[in-house]
Structure 1
Amino acid sequence: MNLNPREIVASGLCIGCGGCTTLQPEARMRWDGDGHLKPVASGRWRQPNEFSQVCPFSPEAANETTIAAALYPEAPHGDALIGRYAGAYVGHVAEAEYRMSGSSGGMVTWVAAELLRRGLVDGIAHVTPRSRDEGDGRLFGYRISRDSDQLQQGAKSRYYPVELSEVLREIAAVPGRYAVVGIPCFIKAVNLLRRENPLYAERITHTIGLFCGHMKSARMVDSFALQMGEQPEEVAAIDYRVKNPDRPANWYTAQLTFEDGSTRRQDWWHLVDGDWGSGFFMNSACNFCDDVVAETADIAMGDAWVEPYSSDGMGTNVVIARSPLMLELVNDGIAQGRLQLSEVDHAFVSQTQAAGFRQRREGLAYRLARGNAPVQPVKRVAPSRAIPTRRKLIYRMRQAISRESHRMFRLSNAMRWPAVYIRWGRAALATYHGLAYSRGRVGQWVDRFIDPKGGD
């Protein structure tokens, strides 16, 4: 099945990574109507055979298990959820301002800076803020940093659409050794390119992965602005997670900066779409992903979402080192007192990401069994309906919210009436919470009147 990019986009399986643009020089990434980035090219897409091998969601591409087996054949540990690895840790950076300037424990920027400091790479491809007048009005984008000062500009989490096309072109044009920082599907795309293209295999020497729940569209920023009483087009910058040592790390606060220099702050739980797990503005491709912890990255980091770490407002990382070099970097950092990390096992790591694994394994199995994707993905999870009815309803509600949030936001914009979306969002969120968390009336109704082993 040699699909081309247009077919992947139409199927809802395009994550917008931009890897396919390397196959067609005139191809570019552009916004679609819902605030996602998609590939665009004039005329017919060439090289469908090659595209099928480099798109991370293509049914023909190598899966994460196959890629990791080739990259880390000597990794001493393996687990069905977190993949192959050489060592796993929990903790944070102890030196300088890495921890304070990052959303979590500072490990992503520290590892990237260490690669530069040791002369192992010439540049780091990572995400940094942009001004509205750059690149189709994007607030964030990939760039290549070649020193620690530039690198620090990319600290913190960015829940915003980005793509790799520009930095992949720069890597192809400028000789050197590069590391790429990215979410699991982006790192998979990079590794698929390395498998197919000797130039990228030579120049991209290291990968740094980020644990991922799912990708959001640019509409989430617009929605936050409207709920704070401001116009989306006036947003100049956003900090998704303002760090406050006096509050738990999982109490997210968003700060928007506007063109006139003013700022607004709001806790996520006061925003109708601020419950991450409910799926507002989720990219549809994320419904068919089975990698939470960047299984094909040399090293991967995420938040430690278990106590006592989730209550530490300074932030704490979970770290999975897969390659021998990354294991060496981490262990050297611990020995030198630059990293405050404790070794953990795969069970601890998977526990910190339990919600993500439920969505990407149990939930994915159910979505595959329903078989309503225009192009049926080939995943490492077997289709199954053998889950309680409450869980089925949660997964269906989450998928409906991700789809309808975009539609209702479009309608709200067309009517110039933000309340249309906001009121719908509150109702959708209340229904979702009733299914997912409530043991009140909605939860009792579900448990009493629906057979937990029933059908669809």
Structure 2
Amino acid sequence: MTGLAKRGRAPTEPKEIIASGLCIGCGGCTTLQPSAQMVWDKDGHLKPAAPEPWPPSDAFARLCPFSPAAADEDEIAARLYPSAPQNDAMIGRYRGAYVGHVSEGDFRMGGSSGGMVSWVAAELLRRGLVDGVAHVTPRRRSEGDGRLFGYRISRSEAELSEGAKSRYYPVELSEVLREIEAVPGRYAIVGIPCFIKAVNLIRRENPIIAERVAFTIGLFCGHMKSARMVDSFALQLGAEPEAVAAIDYRLKNPDRPANWYTAQLTLEDGSTRQQDWWHLVDGDWGSGFFMNSACNFCDDVVSETADIAMGDAWVEPYSSDGKGTNVVITRSTLMLEIVQQGIAEGRLQLQKVDHEFIRQTQAAGFRQRREGLAYRLARARLPVQPRKRVQPSRQIPKRRKMIYRMRQAISRGSHRAFRLARALHWPAVYIRWGQAALSAYHGLAYSRGRVGKLVDRLIDPKAMGTD
């Protein structure tokens, strides 16, 4: 790490975090307020709300994952895994790192990647180490408040299989945390880095959660999208957003490279519509369409506080393997033993790798969360200033500054343009804005031809193609 950003004033209730754009919508704070619920905001993000004032408490500042008063990932991991033999500045403390896939059953083909997340969760159930696993599964829009996905607790392998595959959609933990408090047992929780951090912070404040949450299974994360991404896909495929009953973000095809994403919408009438991501105006993940603003201030790519963490192997030859490949980081002793036994029994096809390999597979994410975060921290003027493990800095190439500023502009602008398009009942307003924004982003920020050279001369007459 390059140092610690200055610790800001501690928030006393969720509205301060929300006003600062730092609420990721995890729902952890609802453990402090029984009447609180997570509700949609105008841009399709989930935020906490309660019919009565939140009780004054320092606990909120300690358990919100983006609060400057909360323990950071280094502090949490040091307490959880003090004897882990490896400690890398990017991927944290760990005992073993691997690349490969599940060879047992249909775990690999049933998931978006190599099947490791579902396999580990199922293995915990098979061994009797947990009574249930909290993970994300599909819902029908007609149920509840119209969410397409949500957390639930599965208590069998059959139930677990319903939660396979990646979900780029807002979800929250309030319901399953309340169920864990109400129903004795041992549980595992699957989540993205900030959600796993929130669970660990809640464990420090809530003895019941601490006793019953026995394992955490982490996912690598680029950033979170709002529900508007599904709505946008629907409009571009000629369907009304309200008609979408289900979405598969990454339709698996063994004959195509794993990084060639294809989205499939299932409508209420049973029909389906498909499109490759690169044909959608917001299909370029890294450009930041519909990104949650809190993700601009995250510095954890690989779930540094999870007992085991998995992601996609975005390097060749793995990224071209349409069957899917995982990179795996084990942090706890038991998770290392489970993985090693799976390898020895031939149920897992994994090879050992080092932290440099893991870094390469997530290189773009680490640039965004280290170099980019340093620049965003230097520019941020928020009511609650986040405290991160990265020192604020403007000392980066001007072209990179342009990239990070354009990503933030696209994140904000995509929500505004989409709101306008829906208000006017004119989808082309958003689609044309998105096409223009993406063209500018690629042309100005990444061009290496004549346009790129011109941009370099304009932003820095002494630079010649600096990236």
TM-score (norm 2): 0.96
Equivalent residues of 1:28, 1:41 under 8 A apart:
yes
Residue in 2 that maps onto 1:159: 168
Q: Using the alignment, how far apart are the partners of 1:363 and 1:430 within structure 2?
A: 21
Q: Residue type matched to 1:379 in 2?
A: K
Give, in angstroms, the shift of residue 299 of structure 1.
0.1
- The equivalent position to 2:426 in structure 1, one of 414, 417, 420, is 417
Three-state SS of the structure 1 residue aligned to 2:255 is coil
Residue in 2 that maps onto 1:177: 186
Q: Residue type matched to 1:5 in 2?
A: P
Distance 1:442 1:48, change over 3 A: farther
Matches within 5 A, 1:216-235: 216-235=225-244
Q: Using the alignment, how far apart are the partners of 1:374 and 1:212 within structure 2?
A: 26
**Larger displacement relative to structure 2 (120-129 or 432-441):** 432-441
Deviations 1:39-85, CA, capped at 9 Å, x for gaps? 00122211431100110001100000000000000100000000000
Give, in angstroms, the shift of residue 453 of structure 1.
8.4
- The equivalent position to 1:301 in structure 2, one of 310, 316, 332, is 310
Equivalent residues of 2:311, 2:327 under 8 A apart:
yes
Deviations 1:220-257, CA, capped at 9 Å, x for gaps? 00000000011000000000000000100000000000
Q: Using the alignment, how far apart are the partners of 1:310 and 1:247 within structure 2?
A: 10
Deviations 1:163-222, CA, capped at 9 Å, x for gaps? 000000000000000000000000000000001111111000000000000000000000
- Structure 2 residue 207 is matched with structure 1 residue 198: yes
Matches within 5 A, 1:202-351: 202-351=211-360
Q: Using the alignment, how far apart are the partners of 1:187 and 1:307 within structure 2?
A: 29
Residue in 1 that maps onto 2:5: none
RMSD: 1.0
Equivalent residues of 1:388, 1:452 under 8 A apart:
no
Q: Residue type matched to 2:436 in 1?
A: A
Equivalent residues of 2:16, 2:383 under 8 A apart:
no
Residue in 1 that maps onto 2:118: 109
- The equivalent position to 2:39 in structure 1, one of 25, 30, 36, is 30
Give, in angstroms, the shift of residue 442 of structure 1.
2.8
Distance 1:453 1:69, change over 3 A: farther
Give, in angstroms, the shift of residue 351 of structure 1.
0.7
Q: Using the alignment, how far apart are the partners of 2:279 and 2:406 within structure 1?
A: 21
Three-state SS of the structure 1 residue aligned to 2:269 is coil
Equivalent residues of 1:142, 1:164 under 8 A apart:
yes
Distance 1:453 1:126, change over 3 A: farther
- The equivalent position to 1:385 in structure 2, one of 388, 394, 419, is 394
Q: Using the alignment, how far apart are the partners of 1:148 and 1:453 within structure 2?
A: 60
Q: Using the alignment, how far apart are the partners of 1:453 and 1:235 within structure 2?
A: 51
Equivalent residues of 2:12, 2:56 under 8 A apart:
no
Query: Per chain length, whose mean CA-contact separation is higher, i.e. which structure has more relative contact order (CA < 8 Å, sep 6+)?
Result: 2
Residue in 2 that maps onto 1:53: 62
Q: Using the alignment, how far apart are the partners of 1:36 and 1:371 within structure 2?
A: 21
Matches within 5 A, 1:357-376: 357-376=366-385
Q: Using the alignment, how far apart are the partners of 1:453 and 1:378 within structure 2?
A: 35
Give, in angstroms, the shift of residue 443 of structure 1.
1.2
Deviations 1:265-301, CA, capped at 9 Å, x for gaps? 0000000000000000000000000000000000000
Residue in 2 that maps onto 1:98: 107
Q: Residue type matched to 2:227 in 1?
A: A
Q: Using the alignment, how far apart are the partners of 1:41 and 1:297 within structure 2?
A: 30
Residue in 2 that maps onto 1:139: 148
Q: Using the alignment, how far apart are the partners of 1:37 and 1:147 within structure 2?
A: 28
Distance 1:372 1:175, change over 3 A: same
Equivalent residues of 1:269, 1:275 under 8 A apart:
yes
Equivalent residues of 1:255, 1:266 under 8 A apart:
yes
Q: Using the alignment, how far apart are the partners of 1:39 and 1:270 within structure 2?
A: 35
Equivalent residues of 1:23, 1:47 under 8 A apart:
no
- Structure 2 residue 103 is matched with structure 1 residue 74: no
Give, in angstroms, the shift of residue 441 of structure 1.
3.5
Gaps of 5+ in 1: none
Gaps of 5+ in 2: 1-9
Give, in angstroms, the shift of residue 134 of structure 1.
1.9
Q: Using the alignment, how far apart are the partners of 1:353 and 1:182 within structure 2?
A: 18
Give, in angstroms, the shift of residue 448 of structure 1.
2.3
Equivalent residues of 1:306, 1:351 under 8 A apart:
yes
Q: Residue type matched to 1:208 in 2?
A: I
Three-state SS of the structure 2 residue aligned to 1:48 is coil
Three-state SS of the structure 2 residue aligned to 1:13 is coil
TM-score (norm 1): 0.98
Residue in 1 that maps onto 2:195: 186
Q: Residue type matched to 1:191 in 2?
A: N
Distance 1:134 1:354, change over 3 A: same
**Larger displacement relative to structure 2 (432-441 or 311-320):** 432-441
Q: Residue type matched to 1:193 in 2?
A: I
Q: Using the alignment, how far apart are the partners of 2:420 and 2:137 within structure 1?
A: 31
Residue in 1 that maps onto 2:17: 8
Deviations 1:340-370, CA, capped at 9 Å, x for gaps? 0000000000110000000000000000011
Q: Residue type matched to 2:133 in 1?
A: I
Q: Using the alignment, how far apart are the partners of 1:2 and 1:265 within structure 2?
A: 44
Q: Residue type matched to 2:309 in 1?
A: A
Q: Using the alignment, how far apart are the partners of 2:199 and 2:144 within structure 1?
A: 22
Equivalent residues of 2:100, 2:325 under 8 A apart:
yes
Give, in angstroms, the shift of residue 438 of structure 1.
1.6
Give, in angstroms, the shift of residue 435 of structure 1.
3.2
Give, in angstroms, the shift of residue 452 of structure 1.
8.0
Report the number of matched residues: 454
Distance 1:319 1:254, change over 3 A: same
Three-state SS of the structure 1 residue aligned to 2:343 is helix
Identical pairs, percent: 79
Q: Using the alignment, how far apart are the partners of 2:420 and 2:49 within structure 1?
A: 25
Q: Using the alignment, how far apart are the partners of 2:34 and 2:382 within structure 1?
A: 30
Equivalent residues of 2:299, 2:373 under 8 A apart:
yes
- The equivalent position to 1:433 in structure 2, one of 409, 420, 442, is 442
Give, in angstroms, the shift of residue 373 of structure 1.
2.8
